[in-house]
Every structure is written in C-alpha cells, then in structure tokens.
Chain A
C-alpha cells in the first residue's frame, strides 16, 4: 500500500506540469498587466493600472481621460463570435456525433479518424485553404458561376461570416469528440425503454438523450468557446483585418504595438471571461444536483 507521503510524490509530475506550463505563465501575465510598457518591447516599472484604464478610456493631451468604447466593442464582438461559434458547433456537432455512434464499430473508427484528421495539418495552412475556396475567383464562386447561379462573384471572404465559418471549421472536432464519448456510453436499452413508454423522437431526445449527454456537451462547449474567444488566426486571415477581435488585438500588442502590459491586461480579460463561464456552468450543475436531491 502507498502511504500518504509517497502518494504526494506521485502527483508531483502533474503538479509540475500544471505549474510550469499553466500557473506560472498566468501569474507572469497578471504581473505584466500591472506594469508600464517599454517602448522597445517588454515591461518596466512603475506599477500602474494604466493598462486596464486603457481598455475603456483614452488619455487626452492634457492628461484627462476620454471614454472610448472601441476596445469594448472589440471584446463584445469577440464574445458574440465565440458564442455563435459554440452554438453552431453544437448544432452541427451533435448530429455528427449521433450519426457516428449509430454506425458499426468498424465504420465508427474510420469516421472518428476523419473527424480528427484536420489535426494532422497545420491550422495556418488549413485556414489559408479557406481563402482559396472563398475568394472572388475561388472554388466556391467558380462552382456557383459554372452552375449558373451567379453572374458576379459573391463577396464570400473578408466578412464576419467567413470568420465565423473559419472558427466553426477549426473548433468543430472539439465539440464532436466529447459528445461522441458520452453518446457511446449511452445504454441503447434506455432508448428502447423510452419508446416502449410512449415517447416520440422529440421527447426521447429532450427527456433522455439530452440530459444524459449533458456532461459531453458541457465539455465540448468549454473546449470550443475558450479557444474561439482568444483566436486571432481566423479573424486575421478570413476577416481581412477588418474584423478585429480580441485575440488579434492581444497579438498586436505583443508584436507591432509593443504594449505588453495592455496585451497582458486584455488576455486577463479573456481568462476572466472563460473562468466566469466555467463558474456559471458549475453553479448550474450544482443547482441541478441540489434540486434533484431535495
């Protein structure tokens, strides 16, 4: 048997990994967000709340603060796009996962491989491919023209729609896989029992399948929402820089703008939003558990 002390040693590697790759960078970002920008990159003294003030206010020449909602709107648009990405991924991903579960074991393996196949190709390259498909003389417009649907190319690229498409395309597998995992464990006799007890297909889904796959849906939601909120590749490439999102804004602060504290402060904002959504989910499951226990 393991005594308590050797058990602590065994979890040490996990603690080290989480600490070095998770907690320490987070605390560095937090610290940087309270410092001043070095014009050549990096940070310097003194400590200040300036980076956070900058999110909503611009400093006039005389030092007075003017309310400036530009960054707020960027954050809002990012949140809205991340939410839309999550909902679309769920709406598309759930039927996909369901379809895969309904197949024979052999076909399941093939389909699951297909779902995870994009991971083998660099995201940057895959996102560029969407430009080739969506641009004016791209595949999609050529196909529509050839079919006679359109006479002029449709403006498919460089708008919010193309950004959303890119985000859903990139993060869809993160929704499909956890939902598939929970659906696979669902006892098929529960479905038979529901039908036997006079449920129709809608009632079966609403009363049995949805509640029992909630853990997978919750996991998928987090796995899609969190990276979608911080993404900058898709908005940059497919939005043409017109649709500035918080991810791109953060990236700019560390590269061209050389304002590390502001970049750190913005990334703290994203982290806070994700933590908030996790806390909300936790609160909801706890409340549901309490309601059932009562």
Chain B
C-alpha cells in the first residue's frame, strides 16, 4: 500500500512539533542546475501549500520551471535548497519509489512490451500485492477510465486518447496520495482535449486524490483547477482560484498571461505615471452620448464575430482591444469614448 511505502521510508523524518496542516508544503525551494554559482537557476523561492483533494495547477510558459517543480514532487529532481513536506514528512531527498505519489508522463511512457492490464498492474506488483487483489484493482481502475474492454491490448494498438487513459489508470491503480500530471493533454487534438478535461475532473472527484497538473494552456487551467499557481522565470507569480487569478491579477505578467488584458499606462488615464492599469477587453464599453469617457481613441479595425465585435482602438500612448456586445457598426477612423466599471480594472505597480 502506498501509505506503507511512505512509512517504510527510512530517511523520512516526522516534522518536530506542529502537526502537518497541509498535504504538501513546498518551503523555500530553489533549484540550480549545474554549478551553484554559475548554473541555471530553474526555481527560486518557491513556497506552495497544497490541500487534500485539491485540483492544483502549475501554469506558465515553457521554461518557467513548472515541470522541474513537478518532477521534484515526484522525486526525479532534488531541490538545491528548501524542503518538500508530504503528509508531515520531509521527502525532498527521498527517491520516487519511496513517495506515495504517481505520475502521468507527458507522452505517457507506457511499457510497450506489456498489455494494458499488465501496465496498470505494474505498480501493484512492485508493491508485492496479492495476485487476487491486483486483478480486482486492475479491473476496477480500468473500468474507472472506461477501458475494461482493452485489457489485453498492447499500447501500440490503442489511439492517443486510449493510451492517455491507460497512463491515468496505471498511475491511479496504487491509489497514491497525489497524482502528478505533466502536460497530459498536450498530445491530444482539441475535441479530445476538451473531453479529457471533464474526464480528469470526474476522476479526481471520484477518487478523491489530490491532482497536481502542469500546463501552459491557461484555458485548461481555468477550466479544471481548484487553485492555480502562475509561474514565470522560476518564480511563483500568483496563487489563487481561477476567478481570483482572472479577475484580480497581482502583476503585469499574470494579467497578460491569463486571458486577454489591455495594459494601459497610468499616464494616459491621468493616474500615477509608474502604474499600469489592466482592463479585460470584454469589460470595455463604448460611452453613450453625455457620459464622460475614461479614455478616447480612434477605431482602427472592427471585426464582427457574431455575438461580439472585436475592436482595435488607437489611444494616446498605445492601442487597446475592446470586445463590444452585438454588432457595433463603427467605420475605421471613428472617434469613440470608452468606459468601464471601476471594479473591472486593476492597478498594477510593476
């Protein structure tokens, strides 16, 4: 059993004093590849708390360190400094096999010489489960991912989506405390990806296992996560629920990376020169006659999208995108006044 694996780990030391309040605590983690003085600093000052039964996402562009952090929780990398606590034990120096954590690899990494059920049974066999228990768990897990009919196929005989499900089943079969998913949907086409998003949510709900997902796709992160950590250049930029991250970005990177945002220099709005004002395109409206606009501009391009019209507007000191409801028939060169609710804007100071 996974919990036995953890308790059997000789190097694990129980935290002195206070009991663990969180399932995972990443404390002051730093990772430098190569020489400490000159090497590449992949992660800096990472502090993350992850709760039980949470769907947590590490979101960021490629090279931001999200995969390194995930591999650190799995045990494939070890922090240069800092601690990783799992259920009140410091696991930072433990090898992967001594952590009750399983991983779904980016390109699945299924064992090509084993059948679907042998793949799913692999972890259980390594844990020396009884044969009857293994058979039962494999069947149960395969029906959980709706692959019961494919038990005797080889991975090469399956489609990409089916292989994905096998990888999920293989990692879920030992019922780990935490399931790690490294860009699990990136190899699937759009339709399948949407389907699998629901599947992953369902699996997480039904198993009650904590999921940690790594992705660069912000829509995916917003759709699935309970909480998101947005990362860039080896640092955590913001941690919060999808709503918090979308509506209240705390810095310029988050505002720009999540969804679409207009970053208006403070000067153009008559505010502090060092401030930047972030406004989502869909929050912007065209001022009715008689209303004082927050800013005025000239329509550059107006593209009708069916339910909305996307407008590119030139403003003093830059450009602005506005998503106006319905068909706004404004030809190029029209002067417009723009307004938005005060709570729709965020003042960012970097």
Contacts and interface: CB of A to CB of B under 8 A. Distances in A.
A113 interface: no
Nearest to B173: A197
A138 B97 CA distance: 51
Interface residues of A, number: 18
Contacts of A200: 97, 126
Given A197-B102, A197-B123, A197-B170, A192 B96 contact: yes
A128 to B, nearest CB: 45
B154 A198 contact: no
Say what secondary structure dominates the interface of chain A: helix
Given A192-B105, A193-B103, A199 B97 contact: yes
Nearest to A189: B109
Contacts of B101: 196
A217 to B, nearest CB: 14
B16 interface: no
B109 A197 contact: no
A195 B77 CA distance: 13
Interface string B75-93: 1100000000000000000
A22 B180 CA distance: 56
A211 B112 CA distance: 10
B109 A192 contact: yes
Contact of B111 (A192, A208, A292): A208
A207 B95 CA distance: 19
B156 to A, nearest CB: 12
A203 interface: yes
Nearest to B74: A196
Nearest to A200: B97
Contacts of A211: 113
A13 B112 CA distance: 36
A211 B154 CA distance: 14
B122 interface: yes
Contacts of A199: 97, 122, 126
B97 A193 contact: no
Contacts of B5: 198
A113 B110 CA distance: 33
A192 B126 contact: no
Given A207-B122, A292-B115, A292-B154, A198 B127 contact: yes
B174 interface: yes
Contacts of A219: none
A198 B76 CA distance: 13
A187 B101 CA distance: 21
Contact of A197 (B75, B76, B95, B122): B122
A239 B96 CA distance: 51
A250 B100 CA distance: 63
Interface string A49-84: 000000000000000000000000000000000000
B218 interface: no
Contacts of A207: 122
Contact of B113 (A193, A196, A197, A212): A212
Given A198-B127, A198-B174, A212-B113, A193 B95 contact: no
Contacts of A192: 76, 96, 103, 105, 109
Interface in B171-213: 171, 174
A199 B97 CA distance: 7
Interface in A97-147: none
Contact of B102 (A187, A189, A196, A203): A196
Contacts of B7: none
Scoring B103, B113, B123 by chain A CB atoms within 10 A of each residue's CB, the highest score goes to B113
A73 B97 CA distance: 52
Contacts of B115: 292
B109 A193 contact: yes
Given A189-B105, A212-B113, A195 B97 contact: yes
A275 interface: no
B107 interface: yes
Contacts of B109: 187, 189-190, 192-193
Scoring A198, A207, A211 by chain B CB atoms within 10 A of each residue's CB, the highest score goes to A198
Interface string A258-292: 00000000000000000000000000000000001
A190 B101 CA distance: 16
* Shortest beta-carbon contacts, A-B, top 9: A197-B123, A189-B109, A198-B126, A193-B109, A195-B96, A198-B97, A199-B126, A211-B113, A196-B96
Given A190-B109, A195-B97, A198-B123, 10 more contacts: A189-B109, A190-B111, A195-B76, A195-B95, A196-B101, A197-B123, A198-B127, A199-B97, A199-B122, A292-B115
